[in-house]
Amino acid sequence: MIELMILAALIATFYVGWNIGSNDTANAMGTAVGARVLSYRRAVAILILFVVLGAMLEGYKVMKPVGEGIITSPGSADSPLAAMPEVVVVAMFSAGIWVMLATRYGFPVSTHQAIIGALVGAGVAMSMFTTVATEVNWGKLSVIFMAWVLTPMAAAVLALLVYRIFEFPIRRVKSIAKVNLIFSVAVVLSGCYVAYVMGANDVGTAMGAMYATVKESMGGGLVLNLALFGAIAVAIGSITYSHTVMGTIGVGITPLGPVTAFVAQLAAALTVHLFTQWGLPVSTSQSIVGGVVGAGLIRGMAAVRGEKLGKIAATWVATTLGAMILAFVLTLLIVQF
């Protein structure tokens, strides 16, 4: 029975990875596509390569803290998820369903928030309604929540800073065509960087619960195997269902050219990569939206579509709470019946 539940947990985790690809592809390549630097197909192909690299090289930095640090067992190093893999099934499907609905309507929600929210909801239900010794690490969660608040603000500030750094050399180039060519290349390179940190942070976050579930029963190479598994799921999601959110990031918040697209992406990548080094599961969605806002503010407040931005912010809040409540209710149902 445990083996079947682990298989179901793998399927549910793959589903979350698919949703990351479908929703978060825009985080890496939406600005390049919106600025008409890359075609949609080329953007997806480049993204897949760098997501795999990021997941394989740095996915462990977030995978382990998420798997071991949120749902814990008092007085034991073993994860309570290993005793109840069905909870992982519930949490991952809860997160995936919420993100899929947001993707359907073109909102770049945070897959991180859906995953963490679902794990918290499931963990609370386990602690209340099961005999498995379980507690939610609220101290760790408070640090994660603070990082979520800081992520879009940091990306916006970095976007403005990056622009100021490049502003002087840009002005020395007299040919507008040459400037656009330089930054067309730059926006592709910065998109590759975003894809890389997306593999490191997003895939690591998605695989965290699965890592905690099977780490005691599987041998060496588990982290790399899960990282590759997650990267493949992201790739399939990117290929099959990423076009809707791509349009929101590319043109829905503020019109982007090659210069502002480069600034937004580089700022977003730097922000997420920094938090990755601290093992914090932060949102590439929040980061790229912050970067796009910062890039838009270069032209003044009027360049940023506040109404669209407000709707995106509302979905971020709703994502955490919605996934948490859904996972709590479903976990309660499976432990009762």
Count: domains in the chain: 1
- 83 lies in some domain: yes
Residues 154-179 have pLDDT tens digits of 999 999 999 888 877 877 887 877 87
- 261 lies in some domain: yes
Positive or negative: CA dihedral 212, 214, 220, 221 = negative
Provide φ and ψ at 274, rounded to 5°.
Answer: -65, -50
First to last CA, the chain: 16
Domain that holds residue 70: 2-329
- 210 lies in some domain: yes
Cβ of 297: how many Cβ atoms within 10 Å? Answer: 18
Q: What is the pLDDT of residue 61?
A: 96
Residues 71-116 have pLDDT tens digits of 999 888 788 998 899 999 999 999 988 888 877 776 667 888 999 9
- 335 lies in some domain: no
Side-chain half-sphere CA neighbours of 222 within 13 A: 17
- 132 lies in some domain: yes
- 334 lies in some domain: no
Query: What is the distance between the alpha carbons of residues 157 and 265, in angstroms, rounded to a whole number?
Result: 13
Q: Over the chain, what is the mean pLDDT?
A: 86
- 336 lies in some domain: no
Query: What is the distance between the alpha carbons of residues 291 and 152, in angstroms, rounded to a whole number?
Result: 7
- 337 lies in some domain: no
Q: pTM (2 decimals)?
A: 0.89
DSSP notation for 176-195: HHHHHHHHHHHHHHHHHHHH
Residues 23-70 have pLDDT tens digits of 778 778 876 777 677 888 898 999 999 999 999 999 999 999 999 999
